[in-house]
Chain A
């Protein structure tokens, strides 16, 4: 099974700086849906950039499907897609079609294959009528979908979401997640969500918590909520819905997002 693996990863911005990440080890399998929690400055964004091969670890290894990111193999960018918070800061093309094609062009894909993928991706995301339209005419939600399309068109094995739904309304957020979970069912897309919103935690199976650059928790999401005091000490708030369920004596679901499987290392 394809995996995204961190093996005792350290990261410092400069050799003399204090570590942003220290001794981080975990492994995410294709098809898993995990959340990455932690305070501001805990190293969450750095971890996603390391996973996407955009920065290289100071020590340790990051591997995607057995390929070490330090090889700078272009296949890493195909296999790991990353979606940032502000869609406007990742859309390159002037038109929808042009932006969707940007990644495949970089991968040297054949034009005929590219056209098929642009069409199918646009149809999946409801962007087909807008293909020839300027990006400037799209709403905020549509732009976020376009940014997602720009990543999904590369057919990645893993998708890293750096607070991508923070600017979406609840309906758009729900639609966004439906698309992702469909992809997960269809072709085993592995998803790592940074700082998921409380309403999104139900979709997670597994949680990772970073505290000052150290991975202090890695396990099923239900286990994370089981110790509210410990969770609060890490700067993570237990969602209201979970608290009510706990108070009422109901069990906490282990993630409704997918195949119900636990998160393995």
Chain B
């Protein structure tokens, strides 16, 4: 998933408000998973997605290449749908695969067009209802950002420990079975966990030294304001929702089989 990462650009997609991007992605995922128009709807949806992404400056080919990572999942989805009842199992399998690809591709587009600050802002807004239970949305979002920031660092630590152990003859033996390989991972986990805990302690101290307080009134560096593009995106999302409901609703064209 190397190419699925934020790539700064200045296009209409990038300029969308973080909430529009996040909610749009959610609506797209729900719509694309549940729309009632079968393979034709999925193919049209995929086409629309690729056109919008390309026009919005997303490197579509790179994103499509990442579908390779989903190969096993796609095969399983296809097989499950092939074995279902009815004569049109083949079409159903293709449709199911297209839907999985559509969900993945738009999620990848979201990551490509959203800076970490935008994702944080969206998470904060999404977590706001948790405030009713006394959970601070901003703190929760900060935890997720720190997780994002430290994931590569922790993986790097793990790799260093693995190499250090291998240098002393404790590496994974070639040709070992999956169970043996899993067992050989345990010596890596404990030192990685210890280092991560130490890092977390140091980071907490550094954050406090930089004025971080759970009770403090923090301001926000990034200010996000909705623009005309957000209105257009909202109308498009509304159209998707209404069309789907019309398709499924009793009395609609696809209702009742």
Q: Contact: A92 with B207, CB < 8 Å? A: yes
A147 to nearest B CB, angstroms? 8
How extensive is the interface on chain B, given as a class?
Answer: 20 to 34
CB-nearest residue of chain A relative to B157?
Answer: A88
**Binary contact track B147-186/A, C-beta < 8 Å → 1, others 0:** 0110011000000000000000000000000000000000
Q: Contact: A95 with B116, CB < 8 Å? A: yes
A102 to nearest B CB, angstroms? 6
Given A54-B209, A103-B211, A106-B212: A111 in contact with B221 (beta carbons within 8 A): yes
- A242 at the B interface (CB under 8 A): no
- B117 at the A interface (CB under 8 A): yes
CB-nearest residue of chain B relative to A136?
Answer: B152
Q: Contact: B221 with A104, CB < 8 Å? A: yes
Q: Contact: A89 with B199, CB < 8 Å? A: yes
Q: Contact: B210 with A151, CB < 8 Å? A: yes
Stretch at the interface among A1-9, A78-86, A212-220: A78-86
B residues less than 8 Å from A49 (CB atoms) = 205
Partner of B211, one of A89, A106, A114, A135: A106
Distance in angstroms between the alpha carbons of A18 and B207 in the assembled complex: 28
Q: Contact: B209 with A105, CB < 8 Å? A: no
- A74 at the B interface (CB under 8 A): yes
B180 to nearest A CB, angstroms? 33
Q: Contact: A89 with B206, CB < 8 Å? A: yes
A residues less than 8 Å from B148 (CB atoms) = 94
- Give me the interface of A with B, judged by CB distance under 8 Å: 49, 52, 54, 74, 77-78, 81-82, 84, 86, 88-95, 97-98, 101-111, 114-115, 118, 132, 134-136, 150-151, 154
In the assembled complex, 9 residue pairs joining A and B whose CB atoms fall closer than 8 Å, in A order, are A77-B209, A82-B209, A90-B203, A91-B149, A94-B117, A95-B117, A97-B221, A101-B221, A115-B221
